[in-house]
Amino acid sequence: MFDIVAFIPRAIGQSVPLLFGCSGEIITEKSGNLNLGIPGVMYVGGISGVIGAFFYEQSCAGGDMNGFLAIMIPLLCSLTGSLIMGLIYCLLTVTLRANQNVTGLAMTTFGVGIGNFFGGSLIKLSGADVPSIALSRTSAYYSKALPFAANLGWFGKIFLSYGFLCYAAFLIAIVSAIILFKTRAGLHLRAVGENPGTADAAGINVSKYKYLATCIGCMIAGLGGLYYVMDYASGVWSNDAFGDRGWLAIALVIFSIWNPLIGIFASILFGGLYIVYLYIPTGMDYMEFKELYKMIPYVVTLFVLVLTSMRNKRENQPPASLGLSFFREER
Amino acid sequence: MKKSQKEPLFHIVKRDVLPWYKAWGIRAIAIVVALIVCGIITTVTTGLNPLKVYGAFIQGAFGSGRKVWITFQNMSILLIISLALTPAFKMRFWNIGGEGQVLVGALATAACMITLGDKIPNVLLIIIMSISALAAGAVWGLIPAIFKAKWNTNETLSTLMMNYIATQIVAFFTIVWEVPKGSFTVGIINQSTNAGWLPQLFGSKYLLPIVVAAVVTASMYIYLKYSKHGYEIAVVGESEKTAKYVGMKTGKIIIRTMVLSGALCGLAGLLLVGGINHTITTTINSGQGFTAVMVSWLAKFNPITMIFTSFLIIFLERGAGEISTNFGLNQSFADILTGIILFFIIGCEFFISYRIAGRKSSKEN
């Protein structure tokens, strides 16, 4: 009936973009910046990678592709794209002290627009009949599973059958947890997010930490977009396919109470919830109920949001200055 | 501190409140610069003469009588949603759930039109439609408000989740009501009988939302500026502690304001389904719940200024839409241009509230 060995890899595949977005946003929020532009950043990360891969594939249309370049070019393009988005956000909210919610929403409009516009243009350039670009050759490098995954049965399928970005997602989450909670830089970063005035008085460069945390956070989140196109969707970019995963990633930050380690489990849970509607039997006559089952992740998030606020434990609260700009001369 | 430490080349000083004409001058400069940047970007991506691009912008918004009407109709819907969100923002309740609140209002309207159409007199139907649309929006605003008032749940995220829940409920009913079966669309509701279609004012099908928007703008201005409720909202927004200290029941104020906010969004949903589209889809509101956040903020939560900011956004949208159709670009080009212009307007606020003082002038102080 319910094939758990097939379900888990799919759930994990779904969870990776969420985990990238969630880790990135946790680092950002720990510096006191609530970046609602993450959905846009993830689109930009995805499309920048696609643009890089597209032109590289075109340039060696006849010949063989160099595996190293095939991976590095989209990766670097994606990182640069999301870094630029991070810099725009920081320039507006940190240097120019703009309202973070409004800036974030504008970034999302802008980023999704960039994704769909350049996606649309590339589709035209490639002259395809279907409204999507297929970069299957680049994707082959990205989704290459570990070599011995195939001969290890269910173990190989559940643990070893993913592309390298998937393992990178888990690694980044673990490393960022260590940096946030075990190092001096992490301590400073958390101080900036809790009370920038005090951090400033202690000699911490508040703007530098905010810039660094937000830009690194954006670059991590952008990788989520890249993973989605290159690995999960097997190199097929179609407009709006990435959907609302960016918003879900922001919700996950709360779900995981600002801890990337909890974020790992939370994102796998959400990855499962995201596709669980495919597994609930409805029959052909009741297709409409599938739409109701798609609601599950959002209802669960809302529920958890309310629960964590009800319990109101001190260590589970958001950074105290989240969403506020810092101006030294303001009392 | 050592004397030899270098004094920074410049530093940032908070300004006194600028006279309004200077503040608007800065904003106007920002918009002009943004338009120039947009022109350059359009020229680079399309290879067009920039003057032609601006011409196409104006053509898109005002090219014909019908286009002017549509521009004003779209603007009034966006204005109503922005006004709806404003009281919540004024008390620092970040309601980004306008999208969901409009959708449930639209859903309630469509439900009444489909289930009650032709069964009861049209006047009664329209009254029931209006009440249920307002009530549905109000409920959608009430739920996050209760969470906020009782447990201080983060409203930005709870309202966001309510959006997606609303979208899925609409998707569910779209399939339940689909005509014909398997098409995943509802089609025009009551096309033959026009039951539940909102009346046309003076024979123009575009006028009703515009009139409603005008009424809502005026009432919201008075409500926020001259009523006791408006005053309480302002106090809660400035400092919740002060409000509690003087004996205001902040929970009650939050809930009351969000019910109002949600109900007005429901009104926008009613106009969208009953007055304009006569059908329902999950994307009927096309993200205006989010755009409205920016409209309201750009206007500094002032209902009168919001007329201009909503006009600006709709003008951009229609103009960029025109460019995309004329020159075969895809529709998302409008989003990019809107994004750029927003970045400039958001950034220019800095120069209104702060000024950069050079090294020399700081010595004089």
A115 touches chain B (CB under 8 A): yes
Window B:157-176, CB contacts with A under 8 Å = 157-158, 160-162, 164-165, 168-169, 171-176
For residue B68, being part of any structural domain is answered with: no
- What's the rounded Cα separation, in Å, for the pair B323 and B162? 34
β strands within chain B, DSSP E: 10-14, 354-358
B211: Cα within 13 Å, side-chain hemisphere? 10
B357 touches chain A (CB under 8 A): no
Question: Contacts of residue B347 in chain A, CB cutoff 8 Å?
Answer: 91-92, 96, 98
Q: Which of B171, B339, B350 sits opposite A291 (nearest CB)?
A: B171
Structure tokens belonging to residue A195 = 């009370």
A130 touches chain B (CB under 8 A): no
A238: Cα within 13 Å, side-chain hemisphere? 10
Is the Cα torsion angle A253, A257, A258, A260 positive or negative in sign? negative
Which residues, in sequence order, are bridge partners of residue B357?
A: B11
State the pairing for strand pair B354-358/B10-14: antiparallel
Is residue B179 within 8 Å of residue B186, measured between CB atoms?
Answer: yes
Nearest C-alpha in A relative to B289: A105
CA A236 to chain centre: 18
pLDDT at B58 over 90: no
CA dihedral defined by A97, A102, A104, A105, rounded to 10 degrees?
A: -160
Question: Contacts of residue A329 in chain B, CB cutoff 8 Å?
Answer: 12-14
Is residue A309 within 8 Å of residue A52, measured between CB atoms?
Answer: no
Question: Contacts of residue B171 in chain A, CB cutoff 8 Å?
Answer: 291, 294
For residue B351, being part of any structural domain is answered with: no
Low-confidence winner among A8-17, B128-137, B327-336 (lowest mean pLDDT): B327-336
A27-60 confidence digits (pLDDT tens): 999 998 888 899 999 999 999 998 888 888 877 7
Please tell me the predicted confidence (pLDDT) of residue B10: 73
Please tell me the predicted confidence (pLDDT) of residue B362: 45
Domain boundaries, chain A: 4-316
For residue B233, being part of any structural domain is answered with: yes
Question: Contacts of residue A120 in chain B, CB cutoff 8 Å?
Answer: 329-330, 332
Is residue A279 within 8 Å of residue A2, measured between CB atoms?
Answer: yes
- What's the rounded Cα separation, in Å, for the pair B352 and B340? 19
- Length of chain B, please? 365
Under DSSP, the state recorded for A331 is -
For residues B13-26, average pLDDT: 78
CA dihedral defined by B29, B35, B39, B40, rounded to 10 degrees?
A: 50
pLDDT at A221 over 90: yes
**Which residue do the tokens 């990360």 mark?**
A45
For residue B8, being part of any structural domain is answered with: no
Please tell me the predicted confidence (pLDDT) of residue B5: 60
B248: Cα within 13 Å, side-chain hemisphere? 23
For residues B66-71, average pLDDT: 86
Question: Contacts of residue B333 in chain A, CB cutoff 8 Å?
Answer: 113, 117
Please tell me the predicted confidence (pLDDT) of residue B76: 92
Q: Which of B162, B294, B354 sits opposite A105 (nearest CB)?
A: B294
Under DSSP, the state recorded for A57 is H
Instruction: Return the CA Rg of chain B.
Output: 23
- What's the rounded Cα separation, in Å, for the pair A121 and B45? 10
The CA distance from B204 to the nearest CA of chain A, in Å, is 33
A284 touches chain B (CB under 8 A): no
- What's the rounded Cα separation, in Å, for the pair B27 and B345? 6
Give yes or no for a cis peptide into B180 (omega within 30° of 0).
yes
Low-confidence winner among A181-195, B110-124, B345-359 (lowest mean pLDDT): B345-359
Higher pLDDT, A256 or A330: A256
Q: Which of B147, B338, B343 sits opposite A88 (nearest CB)?
A: B343
Percent of chain B whose pLDDT exceeds 90 = 18
The CA distance from A111 to the nearest CA of chain B, in Å, is 8
Q: Which of A155-159, A180-184, A230-234 has the highest mean pLDDT?
A: A180-184
Percent of chain B whose pLDDT exceeds 70 = 94
Percent of chain A whose pLDDT exceeds 90 = 27
- What's the rounded Cα separation, in Å, for the pair B239 and B91? 9
B330 touches chain A (CB under 8 A): yes
In terms of residue numbers, what domain contains B225?
A: 75-300
For residue B110, being part of any structural domain is answered with: yes
B5 touches chain A (CB under 8 A): no
Domain count, chain B: 1
pLDDT at B114 over 90: no
**Which residue do the tokens 């989605």 mark?**
A228
pLDDT at B2 over 50: no
Question: Contacts of residue A117 in chain B, CB cutoff 8 Å?
Answer: 329-330, 332-333, 335-336
Q: Which of A106, A114, A292 sits opposite B294 (nearest CB)?
A: A106
- What's the rounded Cα separation, in Å, for the pair A36 and B156? 10
Nearest in space to B263 (alpha carbons), one of B111, B113, B126, B145: B145
Nearest C-alpha in A relative to B147: A306
- What's the rounded Cα separation, in Å, for the pair B99 and B81? 9
Percent of chain A whose pLDDT exceeds 70 = 87
Helices B50-62 and B303-326, axial angle in degrees (round to 10): 120
pLDDT at A159 over 50: yes
Q: Do the chains contact at A110 and B339, CB–CB below 8 Å? A: yes
> Judging by beta carbons within 10 Å of its beta carbon (0-12, 13-18, 19+), is residue B123 exposed, middle or buried?
exposed
A309 touches chain B (CB under 8 A): yes
For residues B227-235, average pLDDT: 88
Nearest in space to A53 (alpha carbons), one of A299, A212, A190, A237: A237
Structure confidence at residue B1 as a pLDDT band (50, 70, 90): very low
Question: Contacts of residue B334 in chain A, CB cutoff 8 Å?
Answer: 113
For residues B257-274, average pLDDT: 91
Q: Rounded to a whole number, what is the largest CA-CA distance in chain A?
A: 66
A234-264 confidence digits (pLDDT tens): 778 877 777 778 888 888 887 788 889 999 9
Is residue A176 within 8 Å of residue A26, measured between CB atoms?
Answer: yes
A123-136 confidence digits (pLDDT tens): 777 766 666 777 77
The residue of B85, B152, B313, B346 whose CB has the most chain A CBs within 10 angstroms, and thus the best one to mutate to test that interface, is B346
Q: Is A132 left (phi over 0), alpha (psi -120 to 50) or beta?
A: beta
Please tell me the predicted confidence (pLDDT) of residue B281: 84
> Judging by beta carbons within 10 Å of its beta carbon (0-12, 13-18, 19+), is residue B49 exposed, middle or buried?
exposed
The rounded mean pLDDT for chain A is 83
Q: Do the chains contact at B152 and A309, CB–CB below 8 Å? A: yes
- What's the rounded Cα separation, in Å, for the pair B356 and B365? 14
Please tell me the predicted confidence (pLDDT) of residue A330: 66
The CA distance from B300 to the nearest CA of chain A, in Å, is 11
The residue of A44, A253, A305 whose CB has the most chain B CBs within 10 angstroms, and thus the best one to mutate to test that interface, is A305
- What's the rounded Cα separation, in Å, for the pair B306 and B297? 9
Structure confidence at residue B364 as a pLDDT band (50, 70, 90): very low
Nearest in space to A50 (alpha carbons), one of A138, A112, A129, A164: A138
- Length of chain A, please? 331
Question: Contacts of residue A207 in chain B, CB cutoff 8 Å?
Answer: none
Q: Which of A99, A106, A312 sits opposite B339 (nearest CB)?
A: A106
- What's the rounded Cα separation, in Å, for the pair A54 and A65? 12
Instruction: Return the CA Rg of chain A.
Output: 20
Is residue A67 within 8 Å of residue A73, measured between CB atoms?
Answer: no
Q: Do the chains contact at B332 and A287, CB–CB below 8 Å? A: no
Q: Do the chains contact at A299 and B158, CB–CB below 8 Å? A: no
The CA distance from A75 to the nearest CA of chain B, in Å, is 23
Nearest C-alpha in A relative to B324: A117
pLDDT at A174 over 90: yes
Q: Give domain A4-316's CATH architecture.
A: Orthogonal Bundle (1.10)
pLDDT at B80 over 50: yes
Under DSSP, the state recorded for B8 is P
For residues A295-307, average pLDDT: 84
**Which residue do the tokens 């970034």 mark?**
A107
Q: Do the chains contact at B168 and A117, CB–CB below 8 Å? A: no
Q: Which of A34, A97, A117 sits opposite B332 (nearest CB)?
A: A117
Higher pLDDT, B291 or A141: B291
For residue B255, being part of any structural domain is answered with: yes
Angle (CA) A29 A169 A280, round 5°:
95
Please tell me the predicted confidence (pLDDT) of residue B131: 93
For residues B179-184, average pLDDT: 71
**Which residue do the tokens 């959608």 mark?**
B140
Structure confidence at residue B152 as a pLDDT band (50, 70, 90): confident
Nearest in space to B322 (alpha carbons), one of B32, B63, B69: B63
Q: Do the chains contact at B350 and A91, CB–CB below 8 Å? A: no
A236 sits in which H/E element: strand A236-237
Question: Contacts of residue B153 in chain A, CB cutoff 8 Å?
Answer: 305-306, 309
For residues B211-217, average pLDDT: 90
Higher pLDDT, B182 or A251: A251
Is residue A5 within 8 Å of residue A187, measured between CB atoms?
Answer: no
Q: Do the chains contact at B347 and A91, CB–CB below 8 Å? A: yes
Q: Do the chains contact at A106 and B169, CB–CB below 8 Å? A: no
Q: Which of A96, A116, A298 sits opposite B164 (nearest CB)?
A: A298
Question: Contacts of residue A240 in chain B, CB cutoff 8 Å?
Answer: none
- What's the rounded Cα separation, in Å, for the pair A180 and A34? 17
Higher pLDDT, A270 or A175: A175
B355 sits in which H/E element: strand B354-358
State the pairing for strand pair A236-237/A133-134: antiparallel
CA B42 to chain centre: 26
- DSSP one-letter string for B84-139: HHHHHHHTT-----HHHHHHHHHHHHHHHHHHHTTTS-HHHHHHHHHHHHHHHHHH
Q: Where are the alpha helices (DSSP H) in chain A?
A: 4-30, 38-59, 67-90, 100-126, 136-142, 153-155, 164-182, 184-194, 196-201, 206-227, 245-255, 260-275, 288-293, 296-311
Angle (CA) A142 A148 A150, round 5°:
85
Question: Contacts of residue B340 in chain A, CB cutoff 8 Å?
Answer: 110
Low-confidence winner among A105-119, B50-64, B265-279 (lowest mean pLDDT): B50-64
Please tell me the predicted confidence (pLDDT) of residue B332: 77
